[in-house]
Amino acid sequence: MHVVTLIAPPATCLTEARARRLAARLGAARWHWLAAEEAADLLFDAPPADAALREAVADAPMDVVSQPLAGRAKTLLVADMDSTLVTTETLDELAAAAGRKAEIAAITERSMAGTMDFAQALRLRVAMLAGLEEAALARTWAATRLMPGAAALFGAMRARGAVCAIVSGGFTWFTERLAARLGADAHFGNTLHLADGRLTGQVAEPIFDREGKRHALLSLAARHGVALAETMAVGDGANDVAMLGAAGLGVAFRAKPAAAAAARARIDHGDLRALLFVQGLPAPADARD
């Protein structure tokens, strides 16, 4: 069996009438709700053509994920932090405290698009923060907000015994706090150097970059005895491409073009609870963060 999961913002374009029409038009054997007027599974005896799926959905603000039914529920989740689990780029917000947000954000954009080497971009941005007081980290964290669906995703995955990890090209100062908030089993990132209560403008080597994220996924899978087919990774930028490609299911979440092109699945309209829906898991309606 094959499954196509349709996901849309609640009570928008995914009505019961539309779900029934799509199921009939595509020749689904049957369909059912995962969440009424938000997520539905269409079941097929054979995979429908991608072109037929695109034509059926047309320009509706709806995500479509097509995959084999067997093995869709995963036992290891590895998630990017900035602009994925949280709504902002924490380094860019930290730069605001130094009065250099615009120029640092421009470098971030190039790095996430894949037009600038990530390690080079990180060293350059951190150097621009030299002298910033450590208290700015706490203020940045206090203003950081979870991406809608992040708590529901981690809560539901952990409840079913899955391993959950956070990987970031950002800083362990933030990933440590986010891991505690979400109950993650592990977190990885870059370490800022501090001296006398201020940032030195340096970051520990080696830089945790796209290969670091991929290696973290592979290492966690090996450590916990999880087959790669049973893993899921989610991210939005060019430095997520390697881990998205290595995971059993790589999901580009509201992603830059480089990540969107590399991932097997894309979520452009739903929140992070969409990652539960694509596994066939219901998401609690009262846990949208």
Question: Which residues carry out catalysis?
Answer: 80, 82
User: Element (H or E) spanning 102, and its range?
Assistant: helix 101-113
DSSP letter for 7, please.
Answer: E
CA–CA dist 154, 162 (Å, integer): 9
DSSP letter for 133, please.
Answer: B
At residue 93, the 3 state secondary structure works out as helix
CA–CA dist 173, 257 (Å, integer): 28
Q: Who's near 78: CB < 8 A, 6+ residues apart?
A: 165, 166, 167, 213, 216, 217, 220, 231, 232, 233, 234, 243, 247
Asked if 128 and 100 touch (Cβ cutoff 8 Å), the reply is yes
CA–CA dist 174, 262 (Å, integer): 27
Q: Which residues of 185-208 are buried (b: 16+ CB within 10 A; e: fewer)?
A: bbbbbbebeeeeebbbbbbeeebb
CA–CA dist 254, 238 (Å, integer): 13
Record the tokens describing residue 182, joined without a space: 């979400």
Q: How many CA atoms lie within 13 A of 248 on its CB side?
A: 21
Record the tokens describing residue 138, joined without a space: 């706490």
